[in-house]
Amino acid sequence: MENNRSSWGSNLGFLLAAIGSAVGLGNIWGFPYKMGKSGGFTFLLVYLLLAVFVGMIIMVSELAIGRKTKLSPIDAYKKVSAKFAWIGWMATIAPFLIMSFYSVLGGYCLQYIALNMTKLSFGNGAVAMSGSEIFGAMLTTPLGCVVFTALFIFLCMAIVQGGVSSGIEKFNKIGMPALFVMLLIIIVRSLTLPNAVEGLKFMFVPGYAVKAQFIEKAPNLITVLGTAGGQMFFSLSLAMGAILTYGSYLSKEENLVRNSVIIVISDTLIAIMAGIAVIPAAVANGIANGTPVGQIKLSGPNLLFVTLQDVFSNMGSLGPLFGVIFYALVLIAAISSAISLMEAIAAHWIDMDIQKGENDTRKQRVLTVSLLILFEAVIVAWDGLGSNFSPASLLGISDPPTFLDCFLDFMDCWSEGIAMPLGAMLMALMIGWEKSPELVLDEVAHGDPSEGFKKFYRICIKFVVPVVMAFVLAGQMIDFFGGPQIVWYIVSVVALVVFFCLSFFQPHAEK
C-alpha cells in the first residue's frame, strides 16, 4: 500500500520545498520589523537561541513522526498517541485557517505585479496615486480582491495537483533560486539609496527604535521572548502539519538533523536578507519625503503594499521594474508556503484513498480542498482588512481587541495565535512524557545522530520546549485579546500543568 504514496525526487528537492514552506510573508513583513522593534541584535540573539533550542527540536520531531508513520498529520498523530490524536486535527485545521488570509495576500501581490507592469509600460504617471491611495482603492474593491484571491488559489491548486515531486518539488526547484536572485537585486538597489544606513540601524542597533521614537520604551525580556518565539514558529511553518507532511515523503536514508539545521539556517538567513532588502529602502524613502523614522509603517500589509509601493513609485523610471521584481519575489514566497499548507490539508484524504486502493484521487481531493479554501478566503478578501466590514463591526463592538479588527486577524488568532503554540506544546509533552524521546531519536537514527545530540534533544523536548511554548502562548493571547497580561500568563501556565499531568500520568499503564 505504502508503495503508492508519493515521495520526493531528491533530498535537495525536499530541502528546497521545506525552505519554500518556511520562507514566506512572515520573513518579509514580520521578521525585520519585529527585530527592529524588539531590540535589533539582542532580538536576533534571542531568536537564534530559540531556533536552536526549540525550533530545530520541533522540526526534527515533526520530520521524524512524518517519516516514521508515512502518514498525513491526522493519521500520524492517531497512530502515535492515544491521548493526543486530536493534535492531528489541530494541525490540519490551522493550515486551513491560515490559507484563508494567505491566499488573499497572494492575490494582493498579483494585483501589485499588474499595477507595476502597467507603470512599466505606460510610465509612472499611468497610476499617479500614493501607496496608501492605491491600497485603499484596492481594499474597497472587494470583487477585484476576490478574483485575484481565486487566481492565487488556482495557481497553488495546479501545482499541488501536479503531485509531490512533479508539482511541489518542481516549483520550488525553480522558484527558490529565482527568489534568492531577486532578493539580491532588491538588496543592492535598497542599500544604494541615500540614508539607507538609517534602515540598517533600525534593524540591527539595540535601542534605535526607541531613539527614533518608533516605540516609547524598550520591551521587557519576556515580551521579547514571546515575540521571537511566535515569529520563529510561524516562520519555520512549525506545528501546522506542513513539515510533518513533507517529512512523510522523505526517504529513510536522509539525515533529519542535518536537514533541519539547513532549513532553520536558510530561513533565518532569508529573513535577515529580506529585512536588508526592504527596511533600508522604506526608511530611506520616508526620510527623503520628510517622514520621521518613527512614523514610517514598517510591518504587515502596510509595509508591503503602502510603504514599499511608494518606494518603487519614487524611484524614477526603473522603479516599476523593481516593483515587478519585488512583488514577484513575494508572490513566489507566498505560493511556496501556500502549497505546503494545501498539501498538509489534502494529504489526509489522499492517504485515505490510497489505503482503499484508489490511487489517483489527488486532483479531485485538491480541488475540493481548494474550493473550501476559496469559500473562507472570500470573507477575508471581502472585508478588505476591515475597510468594508469586520468581525467587530458585525458584532457591533466599538473598541475591539485585535482579533476582531478584521477577518485576517480573526483567522490568524486561532491558527497562529492559539493552535500553533498549543500544538507545539502538546507535541513536546506527547513525545517527552506520554511516549518517549526515543520515538523520535530512533527514527532520526537512520541518519545517525551523535550521543551529544540525543542528550540535547531529550532535555529540550521534555523541559525547554513546553515551557517556552507556554510563554509564546501567553504572548500571543496578550497580543490578540489584550486585557491584563497576568491573566494570560496564568491561563498558559494552567494549560501547561494540565496537559503535563495528562501526558505524565498513565492510568492504564501496567503496574
Please identify which residue in 40, 55, 88, 95 interacts with ligand TRP, judged by CB under 6 A. 95
Q: Cα–Cα distance between 61 and 4 in angstroms, integer?
A: 24
* Contact between 21 and ligand TRP per CB under 6 A: yes
Q: Write the DSSP assignment of 69-89 as a string of letters.
A: HTS-HHHHHHHH-SS-TTHHH
Q: How far is the CB of 311 from ligand TRP (least distance, A)?
A: 21
Q: What angle do CA 335, 340, 346 make, to 5 degrees?
A: 120
For the chain, the first-to-last Cα distance in angstroms comes to 37
Q: The C-alpha cell of 58 is what?
A: 520541533
Q: How far is the CB of 318 from ligand TRP (least distance, A)?
A: 28
HSE, CB side, 13 Å, CA atoms: give it for residue 24: 29
**Dist CA 208 CA 229 (whole Å):** 22
CB of 91 to ligand TRP, least distance (A): 9
> What is each CA distance from 267 to 65, 159, 264, 422, in whole angstroms?
22, 22, 5, 22
CB distance 180 to 359 below 8 Å: no
Query: Residue from 13, 26, 36, 449 that binds ligand TRP (CB under 6 A)?
Result: 26
Q: Closer CB to ligand TRP, residue 310 or residue 376? A: 376
Of 105, 100, 41, which is closest to residue 302 (Cα–Cα)? 105
Q: What's the min distance (Å) between Cβ of 240 and ligand TRP?
A: 4
Q: Is 22 in the site for ligand TRP (CB under 6 A)?
A: yes
Q: Is 24 near ligand TRP (CB under 6 A)?
A: yes
Q: How many CB atoms lie under 10 A from the CB of residue 451?
A: 7
Stretch that binds ligand TRP, among 60-68, 81-89, 235-243, 502-510 (CB under 6 A): 235-243
Which lies closer to ligand TRP via its Cβ, residue 24 or residue 386?
24
Q: By C-beta, is 27 or 81 nearer to ligand TRP?
A: 27
Candidate residues 16, 19, 25, 257; the one interacting with ligand TRP per rule CB under 6 A: 25
Of 269 and 493, which CB lies nearer to ligand TRP in the complex structure?
Answer: 269
For ligand TRP, which is the closer residue by CB, 117 or 418? 418
Rounded Cα–Cα distance for residues 95 and 102 (Å): 10
27 binds ligand TRP (CB under 6 A): yes
State the Cα–Cα distance between residues 143 and 139, nearest whole angstrom.
9
* Location of C-alpha cell 491584563: 484
Amino acid at 224: V
Residues 240-259 that bind ligand TRP (CB under 6 A): 240, 242
3-state secondary structure of 289: coil
Q: Which residues contact 494 (CB under 8 A, 6 or more apart)?
A: none
Nearer CB in complex with ligand TRP: 164/196: 164
Using CB under 6 A as the binding rule, whether residue 72 contacts ligand TRP is answered as: no
Q: Are 434 and 83 in contact (CB under 8 A)?
A: yes
DSSP label at 1?
-
How far is the C-alpha of 314 from the C-alpha of 488, rounded, in Å? 44
Judge contact between 345 and 367, C-beta under 8 A.
Answer: no
- 8-state DSSP, 220: P
For ligand TRP, the binding residue among 81, 227, 340, 370 (CB under 6 A) is 340
Q: Which is nearer to ligand TRP, 55 or 320 (CB)?
A: 55
Nearest distance from C-beta of residue 354 to ligand TRP, angstroms: 22
Binding of ligand TRP by 235 (CB under 6 A): yes
> Please, which residue, 284 or 424, has the CB nearer to ligand TRP?
424
If the CB atoms of residues 415 and 492 are measured against ligand TRP, the closer one turns out to be 415
Taking the complex as a whole, the smallest distance from the CB of residue 116 to ligand TRP amounts, in Å, to 22
Binding of ligand TRP at residue 227 (CB under 6 A)?
A: no
180 grid coordinates: 534568492
Of 16-24, 181-189, 215-223, 372-380: span binding ligand TRP (CB under 6 A)? 16-24
How far is the C-alpha of 31 from the C-alpha of 227, rounded, in Å? Answer: 10
Smallest gap from Cβ 98 to ligand TRP, in A, equals 6
Residues 57 and 457 sit within 8 Å (Cβ to Cβ): yes
What's the min distance (Å) between Cβ of 314 and ligand TRP? 27
Of the residues 81, 100, 103, 237, which one makes contact with ligand TRP according to CB under 6 A: 237
Number of chain residues interacting with ligand TRP (CB under 6 A)? 16
Chosen residue from 103, 124, 259, 337 binding ligand TRP by CB under 6 A: 337
Residue indicated by cell numbers 522603479: 319
Place of cell 488570509: 101
Residue 81 vs 231, nearer CB to ligand TRP: 231
Stretch that binds ligand TRP, among 336-344, 357-365, 425-433, 450-458 (CB under 6 A): 336-344
User: Where do contacts with ligand TRP occur on this chain (CB under 6 A)?
Assistant: 21-22, 24-27, 95, 98, 234-235, 237, 240, 242, 337, 340-341
